[in-house]
Amino acid sequence: MPLSDHEQKMLEQMEQALAAEDPKFASQMKGGGLGSLQRRRWVVGVLGLLAGLGLVLVGISTTMWVGAVGFALMVASVAFAVTPPRKSRRLGVVGEGGTVQQPKGGKGKRKSSLMDRLDERWERRENNW
Q: Are 17 and 122 in contact (CB under 8 A)?
A: yes
Helix axes 33-61, 64-82, angle to 10 degrees: 170
pTM value? 0.45
Q: Are 59 and 67 in contact (CB under 8 A)?
A: yes
Q: Which amino acid is at 93?
A: V
Which three-class secondary structure state does DSSP give residue 83? coil
Residues facing 100 on adjacent strands: 94
Q: What is the pLDDT of residue 102?
A: 67
pLDDT band (50, 70, 90) for residue 114 = confident
Cβ atoms within 10 Å of 10's Cβ, excluding its own: 13
Which residues contact residue 82 at a Cβ distance below 8 angstroms, ignoring those fewer than 6 apart? 45
pLDDT tens by residue, 65-109: 999 999 999 999 999 999 887 765 666 667 666 666 666 655 545
Which three-class secondary structure state does DSSP give residue 94? strand
Q: Are 25 and 36 in contact (CB under 8 A)?
A: no
pLDDT band (50, 70, 90) for residue 53 = very high
